[in-house]
Amino acid sequence: DSGVTQTPKHLITATGQRVTLRCSPRSGDLSVYWYQQSLDQGLQFLIQYYNGEERAKGNILERFSAQQFPDLHSELNLSSLELGDSALYFCASSPTWSSGSKNEQFFGPGTRLTVL
């Protein structure tokens, strides 16, 4: 168990709908990262938050948005869902982010999203 929690574990919805995925980082970790992993694909970095502020953006669609709250949990919002959005969505956390630190990321168990 990495200490990172994600809910829900599974989510089945229809095209055009909107869903929210939730992540709670490890105690003390300030950085949260979101990744998308489609079937048999690698880890696509979506977005990073650090202590409540957006820090970096990857290949995140405009239909997707995220935020990190004062208690450091994070939510990823996916709207106008398409079939191709079906994937595993992972959240990861790390204590901080600086060139001098180890920067190890701890992954949550993931949310499997199925869009029908």
Partner 1 sequence: GENVEQHPSTLSVQEGDSAVIKCTYSDSASNYFPWYKQELGKRPQLIIDIRSNVGEKKDQRIAVTLNKTAKHFSLHITETQPEDSAVYFCAAPGANNLFFGTGTRLTVIP
**Count of residues that interact with partner 1, criterion CB under 8 A:** 22
Distance CA 26, CA 47 (A): 18
Q: Which of 8, 14, 16, 56 binds partner 1 (CB under 8 A)?
A: 56
Quote the tokens at residue 60: 């995140």
Within 10 angstroms of residue 7's Cβ, the number of other Cβ atoms is 13
Of 33 and 64, CB closest to partner 1: 33
Q: Which of 85, 108, 113, 115 binds partner 1 (CB under 8 A)?
A: 108
Is position 97 an interface residue for partner 1 (rule: CB under 8 A)?
yes
Quote the tokens at residue 100: 């001098």
